[in-house]
A and B are shown apart, each in its own frame.
Chain A
Amino acid sequence: MTRPAAIAALDAGEAVRVRLWPAAFGRATPVLFLLPAVLLTGILAVGLVMALDSSLRPLDPMTYRQAAAWSLGNYEQLAGRPAYLWILGRSLLAAVLVTALCLVLALPYAYCMVRTASPALRKLLLVGLFLPFFIGQVVRAYGWLLVLGQEGLLNEALAGLGLARVSVLYTFPAVVMGLAQYMLPFAVLLLAPAVVAIDEDVEAASAGLGASWTRTFRHIVIPMARPGLIGAGIVVFTITLTDYAMPQILGGGTNDFIANAIYDAFFRLSNAGVGSALSVLLVLLGSTLVALLMAVAGAGTMALAAGEDR
Chain B
Amino acid sequence: MSRWPRSQAILLWGVVVFDLVFLALPTALVLVASFTAGDVIAFPPDGWSLRWYQALLERPAFVDAFLRSLWVATVCAVVSIPAGTLAALALVRWRIRFRGALQVYLLLPFTVPLIASGIAMMLLFGQLRLLGSLWPVGVGAAVVNLPFMIWAVSASANGLDPDLEDAAASLGAPPLHRFLTVTLPAVMPGVITGALIMFILALNEFIVSLLLTDARTVTLPVLIYSSIRSVLTPDLAAVSVVYVVVAVVAILALDRLVGLDVFLRSRRN
User: Looking at chain A's contact residues, is the secondary structure mostly helix, strand, loop, or mixed?
Assistant: helix
Contact yes or no, A193 B264, CB < 8 A: yes
How many Å from the CB of B193 to the closest CB on chain A? 11
A262, closest chain B residue (CB) = B115
Is A83 in the interface zone, CB < 8 Å from B? no
Is B7 in the interface zone, CB < 8 Å from A? yes
Rounded to whole angstroms, the CA-CA distance of A47 and B221 in the bound complex is 24
A180, closest chain B residue (CB) = B22
Between A and B, 12 residue pairs with Cβ closer than 8 Å are: A128-B20, A136-B221, A137-B206, A139-B30, A153-B25, A181-B26, A184-B22, A279-B113, A304-B154, A305-B88, A307-B158, A308-B91
Given contacts A112-B16, A130-B247, A134-B251, contact A48 B120 (CB under 8 A): yes
List 15 additional contacts besides A132-B24, A184-B22; criterion CB under 8 Å.
A34-B90, A40-B83, A43-B121, A45-B108, A109-B16, A112-B12, A123-B255, A125-B16, A143-B240, A156-B42, A212-B5, A238-B113, A242-B116, A245-B225, A307-B154
Given contacts A14-B176, A132-B24, A307-B154, contact A36 B86 (CB under 8 A): yes
Q: Which residues of A contact B29 (CB under 8 A)?
A: 143, 146-147, 153
How many Å from the CB of A101 to the closest CB on chain B? 10
Q: Which residues of B contact A34 (CB under 8 A)?
A: 86-87, 90-91, 96, 102
| A104, A112, A134, A149: most-surrounded residue (chain B CB, <10 A) | A134
Contact yes or no, A135 B243, CB < 8 A: yes
Rounded to whole angstroms, the CA-CA distance of A197 and B248 in the bound complex is 29
Is A201 in the interface zone, CB < 8 Å from B? no
User: Looking at chain B's contact residues, is the secondary structure mostly helix, strand, loop, or mixed?
Assistant: helix
How many Å from the CB of A14 to the closest CB on chain B? 5
Is B1 in the interface zone, CB < 8 Å from A? yes
Is B146 in the interface zone, CB < 8 Å from A? yes
Rounded to whole angstroms, the CA-CA distance of A241 and B251 in the bound complex is 29
Given contacts A44-B143, A146-B41, A153-B29, contact A37 B106 (CB under 8 A): yes
B4, closest chain A residue (CB) = A213
| B24, B80, B176: most-surrounded residue (chain A CB, <10 A) | B176
- The range of chain B's interface size is 35 or more
A: residues with CB less than 8 A from B are: 10, 13-14, 17, 23, 29-30, 32-34, 36-41, 43-48, 50-51, 54, 104-106, 108-109, 111-114, 116-117, 122-123, 125-147, 149, 151-153, 156, 180-181, 184-185, 189, 192-194, 196-197, 212-214, 217, 235, 238-239, 241-242, 244-245, 249, 258-259, 262-263, 266, 275-276, 279-280, 282-283, 286-287, 290, 302-309
Rounded to whole angstroms, the CA-CA distance of A193 and B127 in the bound complex is 43
Is B246 in the interface zone, CB < 8 Å from A? yes
Is B261 in the interface zone, CB < 8 Å from A? yes
Q: Which residues of B contact A212 (CB under 8 A)?
A: 5
| B23, B144, B251: most-surrounded residue (chain A CB, <10 A) | B23
How many Å from the CB of A141 to the closest CB on chain B? 8
Rounded to whole angstroms, the CA-CA distance of A307 and B91 in the bound complex is 8
Contact partner of B19 among A105, A213, A307, CB < 8 A? A105
B151, closest chain A residue (CB) = A304
Rounded to whole angstroms, the CA-CA distance of A144 and B143 in the bound complex is 29
Rounded to whole angstroms, the CA-CA distance of A214 and B118 in the bound complex is 45
Q: Mark B125-145, 1 if CB is under 8 A from A, else 0.
A: 001000000000001101110
Is B250 in the interface zone, CB < 8 Å from A? yes
Q: Which residues of A contact B265 (CB under 8 A)?
A: 193, 196
Contact partner of A181 among B23, B176, B251, CB < 8 A? B23
Given contacts A33-B89, A51-B119, contact A135 B143 (CB under 8 A): no
B90, closest chain A residue (CB) = A33
Contact yes or no, A305 B16, CB < 8 A: no
Is B49 in the interface zone, CB < 8 Å from A? no
Is B189 in the interface zone, CB < 8 Å from A? no
How many Å from the CB of A268 to the closest CB on chain B? 14
